[in-house]
Structure 1
Amino acid sequence: MRVTLLGTGDTTGTPTVGCDCDTCEAARERDVERTRFSIHVANERTDESLLIDFSPDFRYQFLREGVSLPDAAIVTHVHFDHLDGLGNLFRLTDSVSVYAADETDPETGQSVAETVASDYHYLDAIDVQPTPPLEPVRICGFDVTLVPVDHPPLVCYGVVVEDPETGSKLSITGDTNFSVPDRSRELLADPDLLLADGIVPAHLCEYHPIGGRHEDADGTPRTFGTKHMTREGALSLASELNAERTRLVHVAHYYPADEAFEDPLAVDGEEYVM
Structure 2
Amino acid sequence: MEVTLLGTGDTTGTPTLDCECDTCEYAREHGIERTRFSVYLENDRTDEALLIDASPDFRHQFEREDVALPDSIVITHVHFDHLDGLGNVYRLLRDAPVYAANETDPVTGESVAETVNRKYSYLDAIDVQPTAPFETVRTCGFDVTLVPVDHPPLLCYGVVIEDPETGAKLTLSGDTNYAIPEDSRAAMANPDLLLADGIVPAQVAESHHIGGDHHDDEGVARTFGSKHMTREGAIALGDDLNAERTRLVHVAHYYPVDEAFEEPLAVDGERFSL
Question: TM-score, with normalisation over the residues of structure 1?
Answer: 1.00
Please give the root-mean-square deviation of Cα atoms over the aligned residues, in Å: 0.4
> Helix, strand or coil: the match of 2:138?
strand
User: Which residue pairs with 2:221 in the alignment?
Assistant: 221
Task: Determine the structure 1 residue equivalent to 2:2.
Answer: 2
Matched residue type, 1:21: C
Q: Structure 2: give runs of 5+ residues left out of the alignment.
A: none
C-alpha deviation, 1:28, in angstroms: 1.1
**Per-residue Cα deviation, 1:182-226 (whole angstroms, up to 9, x for no partner):** 000001100000000000000001100010000000000000000
Aligned counterpart, 1:79: 79
Aligned equivalents of 2:159 and 2:205: distance in 1? 27
Name the CA distance, whole Å, in 2 between partners of 1:199 and 1:191. 21
Cα shift readout 1:8-60 (whole Å, capped 9, x = no counterpart): 00000000011110000011122111000000000010000000000000000
Given residue 90 of structure 1, which amino acid in structure 2 is its aligned partner? Y
User: Secondary structure at the residue paired with 2:147?
Assistant: strand
1:88 matched to which residue of 2?
A: 88
Q: Which residue matches 1:117?
A: 117
Where has structure 1 moved over 6 Å in runs of 4 or more?
none
Residue of structure 1 in register with 2:143 after alignment: 143
Partner of 2:42: 42
Deviations 1:50-93 (A, max 9, x none): 00000000000000001111100000000000000000000001
Measured in 2, the distance between the counterparts of 1:131 and 1:70 equals: 19
Specify the alignment match of 2:239 in structure 1. Answer: 239
Who is 2:29 aligned against? 29
Question: Partner residue of 1:261?
Answer: 261
Q: Deviations over 1:212-254 (max 9, x none)?
A: 0000000000000000000000000100100001100000001
Distance 1:135 1:183 in 2: 13
> How many correspondences in the alignment?
274
Distance 2:74 2:95 in 1: 14
- Opposite residue 165 of structure 2, the aligned amino acid is E
Taking only the aligned residue pairs, the percentage that are identical comes to: 71
SS of structure 2 residue aligned to 1:143: strand
Q: Give distance in 2, aligned partners of 1:164 and 1:18.
A: 46
Deviation string for 1:137-170 (max 9, x for gaps)?
1011000000000000000000000000000000
Distance 1:226 1:81 in 2: 18
1:135 CA drift (Å):
1.4
Give the corresponding residue for 1:205.
205
Name the residue aligned to 1:185.
Answer: 185
Unaligned runs of 5+ in 1: none
Structure 2 counterpart of 1:220, one-letter code: V
Cα distance in 1 between the residues matched to 2:93 and 2:175: 28
Aligned match of 1:152: 152
The amino acid of 2:90's aligned partner reads F
Amino acid at match of 1:85: G
Inter-partner Cα distance in structure 2 for 1:30 and 1:209: 33
- The CA distance in 2 between the partners of 1:269 and 1:169, in whole Å, is 20
